[in-house]
Amino acid sequence: MASFREFRDDFCALFESYLERDDIWGDSRTYIMYHGTTQRAVLNIQMYGFQRSSDGMLGRGVYVSRSFQKALAYPKNLPFYEQKAVLKLRVRVGKVKKIDKQGHPLQKTWHQHGYDSAWVPPNCGMVPSGLEEDCVWDPSRIEILDIIYPPRYTGWCFDP
């Protein structure tokens, strides 16, 4: 019988393997990404679409990541009675601004300068986990491909 640690590592590794480019639409700027949320929020997203967050490290937008592990860590401080969900997405990123340091001049204003998405590369010092993060301005650029309901204890995966 596999230990919990082996199960957890295998589970996270399985979904990390999905860090792939998706050129199905013929758009070389389309990627498979993930968004961590709750089961209840999934219903709202399916009915009304994604809504931009009011603020965050990169300002307003929809926060996603090519890292399943990063998405699995959200939402933070989830009550025990809530079910975590990770949405697998197809994201047309459009024109992307790389934000690779705190205090970057366009860190929260990238959209006002003609960019569709902002990207924090891995291991640049902006995210404690070292995992990459993206912020998409226009929610219509995001398509839900799948909904993953991880077992509750997989929240023990690396917590970005």
Given the candidates 3.40.630.30, 3.40.140.10, 3.90.228.10, 2.160.10.10, the CATH classification of the domain at 30-148 is 3.90.228.10
Per-residue tokens: 74: 């959200």
- Predicted pLDDT of residue 157: 54
The pLDDT tens digits for 9-44 are 555 555 444 333 333 333 458 999 999 999 999 999
In this structure, are residues 100 and 121 in contact, taking their beta carbons and an 8 Å threshold? Answer: yes
Q: Which amino acid is at 143?
A: E
Peptide bond into 121 cis (omega under 30): no
| Residue 160: strand, helix, or coil | coil
Q: What is the pTM of this model?
A: 0.79
Q: What is the mean pLDDT of residues 51-57?
A: 94
Domain boundaries, the chain: 30-148
